[in-house]
Structure 1
Amino acid sequence: MRAGEVELSEHAEAQEDDAVLLFVGGPLDGRVEIRAARHGEPLPTVTHVHLHGGPKVVHRYDLESLTDQTGVYHLRRS
């Protein structure tokens, strides 16, 4: 794992200080990420790269904080 990357936890439960983040739009639409507090504050922008048989497809999501521990990543419009 490189600096700034975080594992996505589909089945983890959030602890009191962890951040709960929802993705809206694009290929990650509806995904919920629980970011452990030990990883620090959520990143302001997340880049998702989809690799397949054709050219790579890049999507960027920008964070909208709702509270100290919750936020929504919205798909950035090109």
Structure 2
Amino acid sequence: MLLFVGGPLDGRVEIREARHGEPLPTVTHVHLHGGPKVVHRYDLEPLTEGLGVYNLRPPARKPARDESVAD
């Protein structure tokens, strides 16, 4: 059983059968709508055999452009 914590999948529970193999270390969720696409990534934290939590990965910080330097 896998539990999602945070973001749009918060609270979702997924039951994986053994035949599907091990869960992926990272799951990407892409939301498409009228505006720009929104991407969320969840990283797996295994707890015990057959039980894990996918935690929402914090957003990547883009480096701020230094406005003090002339082009």
TM-score, normalized by the shorter chain, greater than 0.5: yes
TM-score with structure 1 length normalisation? 0.74
**Residue 60 of structure 1, CA deviation:** 0.1
| One-letter identity of the residue aligned with 1:29 | D
Q: 1:43 aligns with which of 24, 27, 30?
A: 24
Greater C-alpha Rg: 2
Percent of residue pairs identical: 85
Extract unaligned runs of 5+ from structure 2.
60-71
Runs of 4+ in 1 over 6 A off after TM superposition: none
**Residue 36 of structure 1, CA deviation:** 1.3
- CA RMSD across the alignment: 0.5
Extract unaligned runs of 5+ from structure 1.
1-19
